[in-house]
Amino acid sequence: MSVMPANQTNLVERIVNASPTPYLFGFLGWYGMWLLQLQLPVFDYALGVSLIFLPAGIRTLSVLIFGLRGAIGVFLGSVVSTMGYMGHVNSMDFFNYCIVAAVSAFSSYLMMSLICWWRRIDSELNELNFGDLMAIVFSQGLLSSTLHQLIYAYNPIEIAYTNPTLAEAFRLWAAMATGDIVGSMILMLSAVALVNLFQRLRSYAP
């Protein structure tokens, strides 16, 4: 007995290969995870900093699966979420929203591109292994948190970013980096588990 009829399989393939899909995946995935993130205030460390940041996982998945187009989708979703989250901050304007969103979206794409160039991994990511994946997750988390903290230091979004001590600035940076890395790992490992489950189910099909 087939797990999925052929016509349904073809429909799924057409949806995945459709030109709007990468942008929609990045946009809707980021925004959906952002809405879920809002339901988890227990992990908030400061404004703009969470100890587990789930949208970071969508960011990583988007650039791994769809490359630059996925990153553009994440950028658009991040603009919308940043406007909603920081709209009350007087020092923020649309330009700053776009800068924050660009850091969120393209830091992961940049680190994936650099690691693939360094490791000589082709554009299809055929040689990508788990170690490379973890290198992307950790490096994009460190880069994104560093750039975000530089933006917030220049344009404070709350009192915690106004003339912090070196220790306080380090804690903010470390908390954001941890949130990005843990959030990415949660979604990446969940995706790997789902793929393995799907492959096992398909192996039972005649």
CATH number at residue 54: 1.10.1760
Residue 1 lies in a domain: no
- Model confidence band, residue 191 (pLDDT cutoffs 50, 70, 90): confident
Identify whether the C-beta of residue 101 lies closer than 8 Å to the C-beta of residue 82. Answer: yes
The residues, any chain, with a CB within 8 Å of residue 74's CB and separated by 6 or more, are 26, 27, 29, 30, 58, 59, 62, 63, 104, 105, 108
DSSP label of 112? H
Is 128 a domain residue?
yes
| pLDDT attached to residue 3 | 46
Q: What average pLDDT score do residues 149-175 get?
A: 90
Helix/strand/coil for 106: helix
Establish if 68 belongs to a structural domain. Answer: yes
Residue 93 lies in a domain: yes
d(CA 157, CA 176): 15
- In this prediction the pTM is 0.85
> Phi and psi (nearest 5°) for 47?
-60, 125
| Cβ neighbours for 66, distance < 8 A, ≥ 6 positions apart | 21, 22, 25, 26, 73
Residue 13 lies in a domain: no
**pLDDT at residue 180 in the model:** 95
Instruction: Report yes or no: 123 and 64 within 8 Å, Cβ to Cβ.
Output: no
Tell whether 125 is covered by a domain: yes
In a domain, 11, yes or no: no
Confidence of residue 111 (pLDDT cuts 50, 70, 90): very high
- Domain region containing 172: 20-203
Give the residue among 14, 128, 6, 12 at the shortest CA–CA distance from 67.
128
Radius of gyration in angstroms for the set of CA atoms belonging to the chain, rounded to a whole number: 18
pLDDT of residue 159: 86
- Is the pLDDT assigned to residue 8 strictly greater than 60? no
pLDDT at 7 over 70: no
The alpha carbon of residue 127 and the mean position of all alpha carbons in its chain are separated, in whole angstroms, by: 22
Of the candidates 34, 53, 79, which has an alpha carbon nearest to the alpha carbon of residue 175?
Answer: 53
What's the CA gap between 144 and 106, in Å, rounded? 9
pLDDT in tens, 97-109: 999 999 999 999 9
Does residue 78 lie within any of the structural domains?
A: yes
Domain count, the chain: 1
